[in-house]
A and B are shown apart, each in its own frame.
Chain A
């Protein structure tokens, strides 16, 4: 669905031209199965892509910035202050400010920018904490073996910091999945679109589907990443024990 115009009305018109909902009970299962492949699964997929792209961009920014902050300690407090400030701004306000103060047009771009901004604090903090957790003796040993600074960073420090970085990614992804739901209000698409559309049309099946799916998505991803963290840490522990 293109979101070049005001999202609720555009989608409303689109949906209303396709069908007129008839309400039987709270959930209209017939409607659900009819619209599973045409509306619901695409919304879920759109949501996943939106979050993956946002956190992907945030990781690309945060890892180098985190490494810099770990090296040049003076950078760290201002970086946390700025990213912490972004993190405190309520998402609905952030979206509004991005549209009306910065001047973005309705669509995916302002949503992705907001989602990236929300991810930075957690990601950068965990990169720094992860790098800090590498014991100095390990780094000394690596240097003694003749590794250059760059090799130490890539082969020793970052792998050992990985579990903490993944822990940060988990928090970022789960946060972003939740905020992206609200992003649908400014045309980001995804599962939030089902919710807002359902509210506008007073059609519980639609908004409950959006709400339940976004909850399931967040919880599933959270549990999967907890697993990943656990898979990564015994290896890290062994590596730490080996020196």
Chain B
């Protein structure tokens, strides 16, 4: 118990804790910046959307440790490699949900918007994106939880983060150190899940929430 608490008091713990969060946050941010424009771009064509969804599904299947290890010989040891690999992991869930979300806005709604004289751009930003927002946020949430979990593996390619403690504990045969790492990552993942769940609700347009309450 003493050893367990000591880990949290170590000066490098705070540093690794923030490295872990920074890696994850950057990766999810890059993931959003790549996935959403691509989703908007392919939205115009059925074939392109299907293709992008299929690519996303394949990307989703790739094991997280495999991505890290495949990118590692190209970009070398360190945080940058971890962020590149984690960004690759972050993209598929956001991409798939954004495409599906944008496409499920029904044709009548779009027709009505067009009839009101909205431009293509206004329809996208004023109608499609807000209606798709809850689904897109669900994708970001899945992605963020997955990235926070996978950032633990960055330790194997010298990226630091909380995974360092799990591995250190195994190497030094110290249950306390391993558990301190494992439990902090677990808490971080749960906080991410719950936090993004809140964001998801916050970004659901009021109209949709009322519609959901009325059972549509």
Please give the residue numbers on chain A whose beta carbons come within 8 Å of chain B beta carbons, in ascending order.
6, 26, 85, 88-94, 96-97, 99-101, 174, 177-179, 181-182, 185, 192, 195-196, 198-199, 204, 207-208, 210-212, 214-215, 218-219, 221-223, 226
A178-B62 CB under 8 A given contacts A195-B69, A207-B69, A211-B70: yes
Asked whether B210 is an interface residue with its Cβ less than 8 Å from the other chain, the reply is no
Once the chains bind, are B70 and A92 in contact (CB under 8 Å)? no
Once the chains bind, are A178 and B179 in contact (CB under 8 Å)? no
Stretch from B127-135, B181-189, B201-209 at the A interface: B181-189
Once the chains bind, are A181 and B57 in contact (CB under 8 Å)? no
A218 to B62, CA, bound (A): 6
Once the chains bind, are A208 and B69 in contact (CB under 8 Å)? yes
Asked whether B119 is an interface residue with its Cβ less than 8 Å from the other chain, the reply is no
A93 to B189, CA, bound (A): 10
A-B contact pairs, 18 of them (CB 8 A): A90-B149, A90-B152, A93-B149, A93-B189, A96-B169, A97-B186, A99-B178, A181-B65, A182-B64, A208-B70, A211-B69, A211-B70, A212-B66, A214-B63, A218-B62, A219-B62, A222-B58, A223-B58
Once the chains bind, are B69 and A199 in contact (CB under 8 Å)? yes
Once the chains bind, are B189 and A89 in contact (CB under 8 Å)? yes
The distance from the CB of A200 to the nearest CB of chain B, in whole angstroms, is 10
Once the chains bind, are A93 and B183 in contact (CB under 8 Å)? yes
Once the chains bind, are A92 and B58 in contact (CB under 8 Å)? no
Nearest residue (CB) in B for A89 is B186
Main secondary structure of the interface of B (DSSP, over half): helix
- The contact of A100 among B60, B178, B190, by CB within 8 Å, is B178
Query: Chain A residues near B183 (CB, 8 Å)?
Result: 93, 97
Query: Chain A residues near B66 (CB, 8 Å)?
Result: 178, 181, 195, 210-212, 214-215
A92 to B152, CA, bound (A): 7
0/1 per residue, B68-82, Cβ < 8 Å to A?
011011000000000
Query: What are the 10 tightest A-B residue pairs by CB atom distance, in nearest-first order?
Result: A90-B149, A178-B63, A96-B182, A211-B66, A93-B182, A218-B61, A211-B69, A222-B61, A93-B186, A100-B175
Query: Chain B residues near A199 (CB, 8 Å)?
Result: 69, 156-157
Q: Chain B contact residues (Cβ within 8 angstroms of A): what range? A: 35 or more
Task: Name the residue among A182, A192, A196, A204 with the largest chain B CB count within 10 angstroms.
Answer: A182
Query: Chain B residues near A226 (CB, 8 Å)?
Result: 57
A182-B65 CB under 8 A given contacts A92-B152, A174-B60: yes
Asked whether B99 is an interface residue with its Cβ less than 8 Å from the other chain, the reply is no
- The contact of A90 among B72, B169, B179, B186, by CB within 8 Å, is B186
Task: Name the residue among B61, B62, B148, B185 with the largest chain A CB count within 10 angstroms.
Answer: B61
Query: Chain B residues near A91 (CB, 8 Å)?
Result: 149
Once the chains bind, are A178 and B64 in contact (CB under 8 Å)? yes
Asked whether B145 is an interface residue with its Cβ less than 8 Å from the other chain, the reply is yes
Asked whether B166 is an interface residue with its Cβ less than 8 Å from the other chain, the reply is yes
